[in-house]
Structure 1
Amino acid sequence: MTKTLIQNTAHFDSKLSYLREVIAYRLKDSYTNDVPVFPRFDEIISDDSLFSEFARVKQLSQDEIITLLLAIVPHLMPNFFTSIISDFLPNGGELPEFGGVKGKNHRGIIPTGETVQFILGGNDIQKRIALTEMFHEDHLFKQEGVLYLDSIPMGEPRMSGRLILDEEYIALFSTGSILKPTMSKDFPAERIETQLEWTDLVLQSKTLQQIKEIESWLNFNEMVLNDWDMKSRIKPGYRILFSGPPGTGKTLTATLLGKYTGSDVYRVDLSMIVSKYIGETEKNLSKLFDKAKNKSWILFFDEADAIFGKRTNVRDAHDKYANQEVSYLLQRIEAHPGLVILATNFKNNIDTAFTRRFQSIIEFENPSYKERLELWKNNLPNKVPLANEVSLEDVSKKYALTGANIMNVIQYVCLKTAASQHAEILLETILEGVKKEYLKEGKMITI
């Protein structure tokens, strides 16, 4: 183990020892004639671990800290709870008041809300009810996506849901590193990055100026809302529509915004969100927005008209629920406190009721001759000279390619030139690549 990892995890020995004492106190108090004393709490978060730092910064109460420990224990010591109960009941038996459930793979006890109520509240009804507030919508645990109760079958007590600690906090508290979520059915988005720089993004000056406005929001939004006390006047979040043909720089712009403002960019996979089953689309979207709510992420919906398109006249039940999905999206995106970028190839396909809610609509136009020439000059390899017959000015004027098209041609040219072992890039090779791009899109070309 690295020195940093050892420093961050060493504190768990004392914390879990303390938690064991707390559970032992509750068992003795509830099932024996002893009059135990609740373990001293004073120094449990006095160390310099990330767990303790989080507890201090967020000013967590004793009950909240113990609840966090209960939630993380199964990820550190699977037999923690079973060993305590076995020691207390050496001849076997059950403690239904303790709560907890078994997992499909996990062989130990997974604590539930009932476990929290029993350990911290015992048989005190008022205390048990008060503890449910830790799982309300307005509590820090829910607001910041730290901890929640798993859903339960209809009709069963809400507090019987499993205690779920967010994976990012499990990683943060146990290893000291932040775990980036990966695409799954519960998180239908992938993190996208780029090695390129702003200078590699060739756009018209009007478009670049509008993009700078987004960068300003990312850099100064917190100052405007908090330091300038504008929370009551300005809606949270920022909603942008990128509109333009494929290959004009919409995705690259989103990734560069993230790169230069320190924000992770997640491209949402609409195919994993949209469901033919009624209510499932809303559920999938809810998971995504709940996860992103308290993160400084940029959510990027590519080809957004697939789900954000115009609402239809209601002819049947399918149309009715499709329109409900759009309405739900309107609500969630308007309430989302972060940056949401929708990208579409055709702006007119987006519901007008939705476009009114955008702070900005940015048009990404096909590059003009000037931008095409800049793209050719910036991206052809410096280490391989152009043949004398190559005029990038002529190529730029004659062939109206997008930035993505030009990059595809350049890749083809590099590979063909290397494979042919030519000492320079030939015009013939460039034109072959241009022809491939035209044919791919079903366009006529005269070379």
Structure 2
Amino acid sequence: MVERYIDAARSNADGSHEAAFFLADHYAVYDYDRGRVNDGVHAVAGLGFGQPFSPVGPDQGLDAALKGRGDHARTGFQFRGAQYARVDLTTGIGDKGVGRLAAWALPVVNGAGLDAAFNGRAPTREGKAYFFQGARYCRYDWARERPDPGYPRPIASLPGMAPPFAAGVDAAADGEGPYARTGFLFKGGHYLRVSWDPPGGGGPCVDGTPRGIQDDWPGLVELLTAGKAKAQALVWIADAMRHLAVPFDPLFATALATHFHVAPTAGAHEKATTIRLVQAQFTRVLTALGESSIRFRFRTAGESMELDHNAEAPAAYFWDTRINFTPRFVALGPAKRASAVLLETVRAVDPASAPASANVPDWYVTDAEAGRLGVPRRRPDPRWTMRYDEMSTAAALHNPSAYAAFARHLSLGGESRAST
């Protein structure tokens, strides 16, 4: 199954030349003038919407979003299921009330939500919006606040449409600033340009073939997937904190022994001390993750090496109070991304965890442990003086990988290293 990198997108206030792109319960802001994502990953809940437009979790997100036109030019619309919510784009404050999608009179399939929406431009399509659902689209007139006659039509009927997009799209966005006469359609890791005023005249048409989002939208996929990974890490931490509050079940005892090396036969004082220290560390991590709007940052490979002095660009790394994400981050896959976010945040809040040598990966185990887990054996590596399963409790308490593996172990209900 092709991974979705964008759930929805809409432009921000007039003149900003920026757009908010949403994935799961977070969003990032892209600056069309700079041709780059802005630093920071923001929680949708921070916009102040009521339910169900303040989703929480890696599997919760918007269906579509759209900036209003005409009398609604100050309003951003967010769609989820059969409802929509509004945000004032000037103040950035969301409306806690919700409206019904039926109020738009769109010819959508009953019970299903939208997939995407964007606005037309140029002389012939100004004041129009396009709503996508499945393999069809509908044109909407902002002045009349009604759909135009003769719709819906097949997406495939748009001149130049590429076959993968004709079956449906994930998201759509208005171009802004230097791209004001362009619309964008997104599906998986690719996008298409729609020219509203093509050279030589004629109606709107697809301009070119699908291209990779990562190739042409610097940092957008990286920060969106970082936000989704943060959401997954928060789920793991919440599950771990529940177990830490009532640490009596066998699963907890096994996880504590595996990742922090406190044997089930250890004394009550040793267990209580370790539990208290782990809880405190997770509390600091939660605070830092709540600051992703100022802590999360995109770095190109060149920036990572030149500005942050890395010999090569890691997928994710802590540096200068920031948690940085490079193009390599996307290739990790969802579970490894969440682990990376969690362990790099541990490094951000615990100075003793910051040195690279302190982070002993959970896969760097003895041959005997590798055989038990069903993971590849690893040759001795000079970066680490001990294997993960040989660490003392004192060392493990400052090992970022231990916190990620411990939380994942408890959340998933068992050992997961063989699958990651």
TM-score of the superposition, structure 2-length normalised?
0.28
Structure that is richer in strand per residue: 2
Name the larger-Rg structure: 1
TM-score between the two structures when normalised by the length of structure 1: 0.27
